[in-house]
A and B are shown apart, each in its own frame.
Chain A
Amino acid sequence: MLEVTGQHRECQEQLRKRARDLLASGEIAAFIGYGNGSLPWVPRPIVVRSPEEADRLVWNSFLTLNLANYLPGVLKELEPPRRRGEQVDPSTLPRVGIVATGCWSRNIVIQVQENQVDRSRVHIIGISSRGMISRHSFKQALGGKEALKIVENDHEIEVTLSHGETMVLSRWEYVRPNCKTCIHPGPVVSDETIGPPPGRRLVDERFREIEEVEAKDSQGRWEWFEEAFKDCIRCYACRNACPLCYCPTCFVDDSRPQWVGKSIETPDALTFHILRAYHCAGRCTDCGACESVCPVGIPMRLLTKKLIKEAQMLFDWEPGMSLEEAPLLGSFSPDDPDIAILKGGEKGT
């Protein structure tokens, strides 16, 4: 069981009310949100299809998946079957409601930019994120014990463990690093917002994790990379949790040519992670879903964050900030920095 009090409680009530109203009025046919699951620290992404079900919706600090990931699928599911090439007026199709924080809304912007989502079919309820708890460090804090019940207030998380023990954790301490340094906790696009405005974050430390790795020499970085990524079991949870990954056939599933071997051998696993990260270049909003779902704790978010840093330095680019922008790598400028002259980190840029 997970209970919330304070700001999140208010958000949760308003969210339920608004989702119920929207579903009841017929403005939307489904609402994507979170519900409670069987384990208190893992809320379950749900699709609410009737006003009565809206009370299942929850809002708390454990929402580490990016709900934008489900949006194209739910939209598609609601479309009536049509013949190949048949054109349908999108305004006649059922609409979908979704709750979105800063990064989730930025991912919706990217989905619109990349023609995966029709903005007019989506009703976004924006909530400014107060930062989500890292499942990995939360687990660590419990020291191998099981959380049976969690009660969350604005600044503390009270955990009931087995044998009736309790533990109180300071919320901010366990917030994920990407949330702590988030540049945009509030929604970028929304049809309505609920809850208080976003608080301040440690934006100055935004790239500190990256700089720590960059400070190593090439050999040191390689050793770090190999050590941190070698345990990958190739479950592809990072890929599947990512709202950017919607290709009908992923590069890892290509067999002719086969870009990367299928087993868990280190060169294959590392190649998978490099390519997965690169495919998110100029698109990743650092929502942290990939890292949160990883069952073996691989810090794959650092690869995409490095690309965010470079895109910002080289092209002054922040992904998902405006519906009108063209994708970074789907466009160019004659004044782009020249790769044949510019070299990477160690050659001094």
Chain B
Amino acid sequence: MRYSAYRIDRARLIEAINMLGPGFDVRVAPHLETGESGPGENMVKTFMFPQPEVLFTFKKAPPTADDVDLLREPSLPHTTTLLFGIRPCDARSIHLNGLAYEEDTYFWHRIEGAIIVGYLCKTVLSTCFCQRVGSGPDDTRYMDVVMMDVEGDHDALLLHGITEKGMIFLSQELGPLLIKCGGAKEEIEQSLGSRQYPKDTNTLDTLLSSDLMALYNAPFWDQLKDGCLNCGICTFRCPTCYCFDIQDETLGAKGRRIRYWDSCMFPLFTQHASGHNPRGGKIFRVRNRFMHKLKYFPDRFGAISCVGCGRCVRDCPVNIDIREVLDNLLEVARS
């Protein structure tokens, strides 16, 4: 068995990452260096959903040629993307989005060509709530390699391959650049112990068994919407907001079809060609975002579409807090 476990200095690890071959598109989370708590910038979202994503390009046919390449799909990259140091919440977002993007070639090409090196959280921020949505700061699911701090030694990190892909990467690519350290294997096993996720399925179970219309018609939505600006900060910051729009852009005789982020907070999101808008008012849009994450998505895929990273809580300019919305919904569900 290709078991791989390493103990390494932070600075030396970063050096080793920089020495990896050109076959890797390396993206290192800033907190790997700083050790800062919290999910940090959302590099996983921009990796999953680059924008604009060119789906194909096209051009006007010259009048004479009959075999010209009018439509062309972009060549998908062959490099392996290394997402180094992402937090358990962000790693989990890849899994949750994968449920909705089951048949999306572009999405899966990227994900399958990526190695997720997760970094467990030693401490959390006051806005983190991963435990409430079926995960936790030491959730190692959805990672290829897990990385963690060593108690009492700020400079040391433990690395441990979880999936086949992760083990191969660690033992063949990164491993030779690192110095093996005796006892790391035992230390990791002891540290990880027998962790099981999801620990708390209470929230999910309550939401699943609740009556959709009772949640939809709950009175608190009316107050919640008052402050909302209907901007897209929460959706664009959210690692599990995956909605997109598609447009054809043309420039002279050529053009391209692009996919880019859209937000259910924008009126245009649901605007019909007839002019009618089923979510014309602010309240409908605010409600939809939370209902989708906390009820519609769980009903369909069996998981809450929120990883508890708290980015929306921190960045919302009017302090709409999904944790309070969740409390309110659970209260309605239980009554």
Contacts and interface: CB of A to CB of B under 8 A. Distances in A.
A70 B267 CA distance: 17
Contact of B232 (A37, A44, A237): A237
B230 A240 contact: yes
Contacts of A262: 245, 247, 260
Interface in A63-97: 64-65, 69-70, 73-74
B231 A44 contact: no
Interface residues of A, number: 36
A138 interface: no
Given A46-B227, A148-B126, A233 B236 contact: yes
A264 B260 contact: yes
A263 interface: yes
B125 A146 contact: yes
B61 interface: no
Contacts of A74: 226
Contact of B227 (A44, A233, A295): A44
A144 B123 CA distance: 14
Given A237-B231, A261-B249, A144 B36 contact: yes
Contacts of B243: none
Interface in B305-322: 313-321
A16 B172 CA distance: 67
Contact of B324 (A38, A235, A237): A38
Contacts of A105: none
Interface in A109-153: 144, 146, 148
By secondary structure, the B interface counts as: mixed
B232 A235 contact: yes
Contact of B319 (A38, A253, A265): A38
B233 A70 contact: no
Interface in A206-227: none
Given A70-B226, A264-B52, A235 B236 contact: yes
Contacts of B181: none
B268 interface: yes
Name which of B245, B282, B315 has the most chain A CB atoms within 10 A of its CB: B315
Interface residues of B, number: 40
A45 B318 contact: yes
B291 to A, nearest CB: 20
A293 B236 contact: no
A236 B232 contact: yes
B140 to A, nearest CB: 25
A43 B36 CA distance: 26
A175 B25 CA distance: 42
A189 interface: no
B231 A47 contact: no
A300 interface: no
A293 B231 contact: yes
A295 B51 contact: no
A234 B125 CA distance: 27
Nearest to A236: B231
Contacts of B266: 236, 253
Contacts of A304: none
A42 interface: yes
A39 B52 contact: no
A263 B316 CA distance: 22
A42 B233 contact: no
A234 B316 contact: no
A298 interface: no
B125 A237 contact: no
A37 B319 contact: yes
Given A38-B313, A253-B267, A295 B237 contact: yes
A239 B231 CA distance: 8
Given A42-B317, A43-B319, A263 B232 contact: no
B229 interface: yes
Interface string B207-239: 000000000000000010011011111011100
Interface in B271-285: 282
A241 interface: yes
A322 interface: no
Nearest to B319: A37
A263 B236 CA distance: 13
Given A38-B321, A39-B127, A146-B126, A295 B52 contact: no
A47 B225 CA distance: 10
Contacts of A5: none
Contacts of B125: 146
Contacts of A65: 317-318
A190 to B, nearest CB: 23
A218 B319 CA distance: 40
A162 interface: yes
A73 B228 CA distance: 11
Contacts of A70: 226-227
A236 B235 CA distance: 12
Contacts of B237: 295
Contacts of B249: 261
Given A237-B231, A261-B249, A295-B237, A44 B52 contact: no
Contacts of A292: 317
Nearest to A43: B319
13 contacts: A37-B318, A38-B321, A38-B324, A39-B314, A43-B319, A45-B227, A46-B223, A162-B126, A236-B232, A237-B317, A261-B249, A263-B258, A295-B237
Interface of B: 34, 36, 51-52, 125-127, 223, 226-227, 229-233, 235-237, 245, 247, 249, 258, 260-261, 263, 266-268, 282, 313-321, 323-324
Q: Considering the complex of A and B, which 10 residue pairs feature the smallest CB-CB distances, nearest first? A: A37-B319, A237-B231, A263-B52, A293-B317, A235-B232, A240-B229, A42-B319, A45-B227, A44-B319, A263-B260
Interface of A: 37-39, 42-47, 64-65, 69-70, 73-74, 144, 146, 148, 162, 233-237, 239-241, 253, 261-265, 292-293, 295
Given A44-B319, A234-B236, A239-B231, 12 more contacts: A38-B321, A42-B319, A65-B317, A70-B227, A146-B127, A235-B236, A236-B231, A237-B229, A240-B231, A241-B229, A241-B231, A264-B52
